[in-house]
Amino acid sequence: MAHNATGRRQRPALIVGNFLSASIETTCPCEELSKRLAAEGRTVLTASHYLSRPARLLDMVWTAWSRRNRYDVAQVDVYGGRSFLWAEAVCAAMRRAGKPYVLTLHSGTFPEFASRNAERVRRLLDSAAAVTAPSGYLVEKMRPYRSDIRMIPNAIELERYPFQPRRRAAPALVWLRAFHAMYNAELAPKVIALLKPEFPDIRLIMAGRDKGDGSLQRTRHVAESLGVRACIEFPGGVPKADVPRWLNRGSIFLNTTNVDNMPVSVVEAMACGLCTVSTDVGGIPYLLEDGRDALLVPPGNAPAMAAAIKRLLLNAALAERISTGGRLNAERHGWGVVLSQWDELLDEVEIRCAGESGSDTIRAANLMGKGTS
C-alpha cells in the first residue's frame, strides 16, 4: 500500500466526477485531483469518462459497487439540478458497500437548489464522512445543511502559467468561459462598444465552447449590431494546455458572469498576471478583493465594467498592483498547497473510519464473548 510524505499508508481511493477532457475541452477539478493523488503513489480508480449522461451515471454507480473491494475511501463531486440524483445513486451504492466517502459541492447555483430540496440535500450531506467546497461562498451558504463543511479550493499547476506582470495595461482583453446564458457573454461586446471611441485599437478574445443555448449566437449578434464585431476574435473552445498562451495575448481579463462560485479561469488569468475585471456575484467577493487583486462591478452593468477597464488603461500603478496582487492570490491555489489539504482530509477520513470499524469489531467480539460465557 502506498505511503504519503508523512509515511502514513495511503488507502486506495475512488474519485467520482466528470472525466471528459478526452471528449471536450473542459477539465473538471476531479480529473486533476485523481492524477495528483496517483502521482503520489496512491491507487486511484475513477468514474466516469462517458460523454453520454445515462452511460456516465450507470458507469459511476456500477464502478462504486462492482469495484468495492478495490478502494477504501471515495470522493464524489456533487452538483445541483438533475445531476444531484447521480450523487444520491452513487452514494447509495457506496453505503451499501460500507465505503466512506467525501462529498465536494460545486456550482454557484447549488444554494438555490438546496433551498428547494432541503431534506434531500441535508440527508446526503449528513451521510458523508466529510464535505468540502471550493469556495468560502459555498461553505457559508451551505452551513444550514451541514455545519462542518471544509473549504479546499480548486487548484491549478502554477508552473504552467508563466507570470508576466502588467506594469501598464494594454487595450487587449480576454474572456474565457463556456458560452452559456449564466455567464452573460453578451455583456462583453457592449463593454467594447463603450470603450472603442476612446481606445480605437481595443480588441477582445472570447474563447470558449458553445453550450448550445444560443448564447454564442446572441453575443455575435450584439457585436455586429454595435459595430464591434471586427474587434472580437472567437477561437472556439481552447484545450487546457493552450489556455496560458491565449491568456497571455491580453492584459485584462473579463469575467461577465451572472452566477459564479470559484472560477478556475479567473485563477488562471491571475496566475499569468492579467488584470481581472469581474462582476461581484456569488463566490467572486470571497475569491477576489476589489482594488487589491481585481476590480469588481455589479452584474450586467456595461458602463461600470467599461469604467473599471478605463481606470486600468489610464493608471499604470493601479494595473501593476492588480496584476501582482492577482498572482499572489493565484499562488494560494497551486497544487503544492491544495494537494496537502486533500491528503490531510483523506487521512482523517481513513483513520476515523478505520477506528470506527475497529470499535465495531471489538463490540462484536465482546458480544460473542458474553454469549459463550
Assess whether the region 2-155+334-368 and the region 162-331 belong to the same CATH fold: yes
Other C-beta atoms within 10 Å of 96: how many?
Answer: 11
Question: What does the pLDDT profile of the chain (373 residues) look like in tens digits?
Answer: 455 554 445 789 999 999 998 877 678 889 999 999 999 999 999 999 999 999 999 999 999 999 999 999 999 999 999 999 999 999 999 999 999 999 999 999 999 999 999 999 999 999 999 999 999 999 999 999 999 999 999 999 999 999 999 999 999 999 999 999 999 999 999 999 999 999 999 999 999 999 999 999 999 999 999 999 999 999 999 988 999 999 999 999 999 999 999 999 999 999 999 999 999 999 999 999 999 999 999 999 999 999 999 999 999 999 999 999 999 999 999 999 999 999 999 989 988 877 665 444 333 333 333 433 3
**Kind and range of the H or E run holding 255:** strand 252-255
Helix axes 316-331, 264-272, angle to 10 degrees: 120
pLDDT given for residue 28 in this prediction: 86
User: How crowded is the C-beta side of 109, counted as CA atoms within 13 Å?
Assistant: 12
Q: Residues 174, 176, 178, CA angle at the centre, nearest 5°?
A: 150
Query: What CA–CA distance (Å, rounded) separates 262 from 136?
Result: 9
pLDDT given for residue 141 in this prediction: 96
**Kind and range of the H or E run holding 1:** none
Query: What CA–CA distance (Å, rounded) separates 16 from 77?
Result: 6
How do the domains of the chain map onto residue ranges? 2-155+334-368, 162-331
Q: Which residue has the cell 461562498?
A: 137
φ, ψ of residue 111 to 5 degrees: the values are -60, -35
User: Judging by DSSP bridges, how do beta strands 9-10 and 275-279 pair with one another?
Assistant: unpaired
Was domain 2-155+334-368 assigned CATH 3.40.50.2000? yes
pLDDT given for residue 19 in this prediction: 94
Query: Is the peptide bond between 48 and the residue preceding it cis, with omega within 30 degrees of 0?
Result: yes
Q: What is the pLDDT of residues 180-197, one digit of tens each?
A: 999 999 999 999 999 999
Positive or negative, the CA dihedral 27, 46, 55, 262 is negative
Length of the chain: 373
CATH homologous superfamily for the domain 162-331: Glycogen Phosphorylase B; (3.40.50.2000)
Would you list the DSSP string of 167-182?
SS--SEEEEES-B-GG
Q: What is the pLDDT of residues 15-56, one digit of tens each?
A: 999 999 887 767 888 999 999 999 999 999 999 999 999 999
Quote the pTM value. 0.86
Cell numbers linked to 168: 501598464
Of 228, 164, 18, residue with least CA distance to 206: 228
Query: What CA–CA distance (Å, rounded) separates 164 from 157?
Result: 16
Q: Which residue has the cell 498562451?
A: 245
Q: In what order do the strands lie in the sheet with 203-207?
A: 232-236, 203-207, 172-176, 252-255, 275-279, 295-297
Q: Residues 305, 288, 302, CA angle at the centre, nearest 5°?
A: 10
